[in-house]
Structure 1
């Protein structure tokens, strides 16, 4: 089988390509890349986190697999919980995150890997996990992006003696350091033999529950034993003849992308041309309009738009929202199977699952999940997310796309899709093109726009910020395209992206 992958690290992409070489399909490749990312992109994802896979078999409708985190079934009193703030230093700004055992939600990544492998995979699970086992055992050098991210969140990765022991001597020593994770290699080997049972009902489950009971967390055996992957019907929109499928409610990112595509559908962007005043003012207006409509559907300018946002709010209501850091993987194979998979571990809780090498998530520390104050989240609810793995298809043309980047990922995906579909850009150009993002009454603008367009945007949006270089703030749209004969694509350079493919067709 021939195929392609776009991902956030060279080893993540390498793991996917090894599956194609073994005859595996796009789903095998995506799952191998997922396991590898948990090893080589440890701040962005983990077996202790969760995610979403949007999968389309070549002859079937797409399916969304939701294996994101779940809130615990019971809340311990706040006074009994280990839950505290740490400061992450971004250089130009600082941000407060909340960590500790009391921030850990029920993880979904392990069950997501095993369940989707059972339904979609063609290779044995051991083959799929073998690259990740190798990377964890033999070590991987910390690259520029990972060193930068580790530097930002270093207080979290030194928060406990176990975290300090694992990360301080290698991972936190900067770019070029060889980072070994022998305990994680052993855990992955165990999962390759036993599947997800040890994590949700066996020794690893016992260890996780004991940690939470002893250290001030919420998770119980019931939380783990009852965790399930949820299959959902994707949100689908027709955009310029493309069938665009994305993450549905209760998650919010895909719904907001669908709303924006609907708002753009009546605009002739191709005639306006990329980077023109008309193009950028239209794009900024749609972003601002989507932001407002998200809060108040009555401000949507049409009945159709109001209905869309009413549906969005009804589905999302009661589901706490997580907007944390992420990584993304896109794969397509020459049989026409396609996958878009987005993962997150938040920033990590500082707590490692004992003797496993697994950093556990801190999703319960998300402020948006606790609008009435911390430790007041609804119990036993699947957490909503901005993550929006997306697939598009038109007359044999396939696109797999997604992004990391918290709230910015929806605008990054939207702009890359517009570049591909409206402006017919090659994938590398579509991904690399300068972006804008509107949120909280401020327009952020990447460099590279024409002076007249830039002046028009700044005049319309007095609250703006001009960036002096491309930045991971604007997401990372790792993108793969397939036209029935050739693969193309791009890993977003803003987030260390890598694209790899087999040449031609089988």
Structure 2
């Protein structure tokens, strides 16, 4: 596997695919701001990374303008207004094989939540963009019509998600060959229906998809074939603008995704525990890995306890209640004997604006939005998002997500926009990258490239690259150990841009998820 790379310029993009990065780069080079570039990249990701960032899913954009307060745009998926329970619901289980481990998901129209990405694009464009929406959607439409060659990573994702992608003829036609095998590396992914959709979005905005015939077509499909979504669900969906959650870690300041989503809060909680453990141990050491593993384990325990204490309605208040936090800080400070479907885009422009965007379609539900070529999400079928059970979701409620686009301000004047895909591994990937940046003064490339671990439900998962002593120490925080033979997308994909105090910018794309960067040498475009 290749390593994260960085270079220096005045504006930069880090993303999960060359076409996604190129769309953002072209907008920046033409004088657009970071938010214009982010919208072009979201559209391009829906074409080049459709298994990770479809327009039928949702996401978050953390906007950090150079001349104003930061705003978190929440356009994640929402539960429908009412459930249609019973044997007619289209909801079934599939197993996704990552190689060293498998993970179960649920698909079908009954797994689709109300999508928010299209409304999110419209909201960010109205507030922050400087270019016409049609101009920002056009490159992605052209890409969808011409086709995108699959990379090795894309073909791998297509293979592991094949049980979902063969569910309906509309999806199989795009993602599989005529004989029913997944498309291979080098094959071209052509999506003419999606091209038309992007052009319509650019020309007409979000209304046709949430209030017009396309909205009614999706509602009719769900009514006929076992889904929950209604025309009212689509019409009433609103993007939420939130104040980011702010926390300090040593001499750094983190801005991240606030409640009701959980990912940002869990990153902030784990960083608090790391700080309670005392000064940082040397990078890569057995002591550091044990400390990180303990912080992950205790954060998971605290999350469960906060939920039992009524944290579902006020998760931030419950998780950061002084009594609970102090108890877990104390547990963290005790050093025990040694006994034992997401993508991210980060953008910095020459004027000092930062944008961090995390998108997800889950694994997709196996069905397309009629007349659009858009693969719908399966957020109602994600066990990570519904710990109380698939039948327990409250109606008309934003689904809590692990996604946590973030901005980190370091004491030396560096500003880093970063985030990750990876389901429950998002929080631990971001925790480790933040620790690498703050505690070990790494470059963004070094911080992203460093090996990772993940602790959950008694299982300690370890990438190669740690010493034997470090892996043995980390294993003491769990009941079982899984040593992965190579780095893998299972451990997330952190894409980051880093602005130094003098205005120079570097970027790093995570090779675990095909990350790429593009750095531009250009002057400021203020006022354009």
Q: 1:124: which partner in 2?
A: 132
After TM superposition, give the deviation of residue 88 of structure 1 in Å: 2.9
Q: 2:98: which partner in 1?
A: 90
After TM superposition, give the deviation of residue 417 of structure 1 in Å: 1.1
Deviates more, 1:481-490 or 1:455-464: 455-464
Q: Measure, in 2, the Cα distance between the counterparts of 1:94 and 1:22.
A: 44
Q: 2:122: which partner in 1?
A: 114
Contact 1:2-1:21 at 8 Å conserved across structures: no
> Which of the numbers 500, 504, 509 marks the counterpart of 1:486?
504
Q: Measure, in 2, the Cα distance between the counterparts of 1:143 and 1:488.
A: 24
Q: Measure, in 2, the Cα distance between the counterparts of 1:268 and 1:156.
A: 46
Deviates more, 1:83-92 or 1:395-404: 83-92
Contact 1:44-1:344 at 8 Å conserved across structures: yes
> Which of the numbers 222, 225, 235 marks the counterpart of 1:225?
235
The answer to whether 1:329 aligns with 2:337 is no
The answer to whether 1:240 aligns with 2:258 is no
How many residues are aligned here? 491
Q: Measure, in 2, the Cα distance between the counterparts of 1:371 and 1:287.
A: 18
After TM superposition, give the deviation of residue 369 of structure 1 in Å: 4.7
> Which of the numbers 508, 513, 518 marks the counterpart of 1:495?
513
After TM superposition, give the deviation of residue 2 of structure 1 in Å: 4.9
After TM superposition, give the deviation of residue 241 of structure 1 in Å: 2.7
Deviates more, 1:391-400 or 1:247-256: 391-400
Aligned CA distance change for structure 1 residues 373 and 445 (closer, same or farther; 3 Å):
closer
Contact 1:54-1:390 at 8 Å conserved across structures: yes
The 5 A counterparts of 1:322-361 are 325-361=341-377
Aligned CA distance change for structure 1 residues 306 and 72 (closer, same or farther; 3 Å):
closer
Structure 2 residue matching 1:265: 3-state secondary structure:
helix
Q: Measure, in 1, the Cα distance between the counterparts of 2:510 and 2:21.
A: 13
Q: 2:426: which partner in 1?
A: 409
The answer to whether 1:205 aligns with 2:201 is no
Contact 1:48-1:360 at 8 Å conserved across structures: yes
After TM superposition, give the deviation of residue 355 of structure 1 in Å: 2.3
Cα RMSD for the two superposed structures: 2.5
Q: Measure, in 1, the Cα distance between the counterparts of 2:10 and 2:224.
A: 49
Contact 1:70-1:107 at 8 Å conserved across structures: yes
Structure 2 residue matching 1:73: 3-state secondary structure:
coil
Cα displacement string for residues 286-307 of structure 1 (whole angstroms, at most 9, x for unaligned residues): 112211111225999xxxx996
Q: 1:322: which partner in 2?
A: none
Contact 1:137-1:182 at 8 Å conserved across structures: yes
Contact 2:158-2:183 at 8 Å conserved across structures: no
Q: Measure, in 2, the Cα distance between the counterparts of 1:204 and 1:298.
A: 38
Q: Which runs of 5+ in 1 are unaligned?
A: 315-324
Contact 1:485-1:505 at 8 Å conserved across structures: no
Aligned CA distance change for structure 1 residues 281 and 372 (closer, same or farther; 3 Å):
closer
Contact 1:72-1:219 at 8 Å conserved across structures: yes
Aligned CA distance change for structure 1 residues 376 and 294 (closer, same or farther; 3 Å):
closer
After TM superposition, give the deviation of residue 21 of structure 1 in Å: 1.0
Q: Measure, in 2, the Cα distance between the counterparts of 1:6 and 1:173.
A: 26
Aligned CA distance change for structure 1 residues 37 and 212 (closer, same or farther; 3 Å):
same
Q: 1:473: which partner in 2?
A: 490
Q: 1:319: which partner in 2?
A: none
Q: Measure, in 1, the Cα distance between the counterparts of 2:390 and 2:278.
A: 46
Structure 2 residue matching 1:384: 3-state secondary structure:
coil
Aligned CA distance change for structure 1 residues 60 and 387 (closer, same or farther; 3 Å):
same
- State the TM-score, normalizing by the size of structure 2: 0.88
Q: Measure, in 2, the Cα distance between the counterparts of 1:374 and 1:269.
A: 42
The answer to whether 1:280 aligns with 2:289 is yes
Deviates more, 1:55-64 or 1:453-462: 453-462
Deviates more, 1:370-379 or 1:462-471: 370-379
Contact 2:287-2:473 at 8 Å conserved across structures: no
Q: Measure, in 2, the Cα distance between the counterparts of 1:213 and 1:343.
A: 27
The 5 A counterparts of 1:249-288 are 249-267=259-277, 269-270=279-280, 272-288=281-297
Q: Measure, in 2, the Cα distance between the counterparts of 1:342 and 1:460.
A: 30
Cα displacement string for residues 159-199 of structure 1 (whole angstroms, at most 9, x for unaligned residues): 11222233323893211101110110001001100000110
Deviates more, 1:450-459 or 1:440-449: 450-459
After TM superposition, give the deviation of residue 20 of structure 1 in Å: 0.4
The answer to whether 1:5 aligns with 2:5 is no
Contact 1:485-1:504 at 8 Å conserved across structures: no
> Which of the numbers 182, 191, 195 marks the counterpart of 1:185?
195
Q: 1:321: which partner in 2?
A: none
Q: 1:320: which partner in 2?
A: none
Q: Measure, in 2, the Cα distance between the counterparts of 1:74 and 1:297.
A: 27
Deviates more, 1:58-67 or 1:372-381: 372-381
Q: 1:291: which partner in 2?
A: 300
After TM superposition, give the deviation of residue 266 of structure 1 in Å: 4.2
Q: Measure, in 2, the Cα distance between the counterparts of 1:28 and 1:298.
A: 38
- State the TM-score, normalizing by the size of structure 1: 0.92
Cα displacement string for residues 30-57 of structure 1 (whole angstroms, at most 9, x for unaligned residues): 1111111111111112111000111111
After TM superposition, give the deviation of residue 332 of structure 1 in Å: 1.1
After TM superposition, give the deviation of residue 134 of structure 1 in Å: 1.3
Aligned CA distance change for structure 1 residues 104 and 461 (closer, same or farther; 3 Å):
closer
Contact 1:49-1:109 at 8 Å conserved across structures: yes
Q: 1:318: which partner in 2?
A: none
Q: 1:378: which partner in 2?
A: 394
Deviates more, 1:105-114 or 1:353-362: 353-362
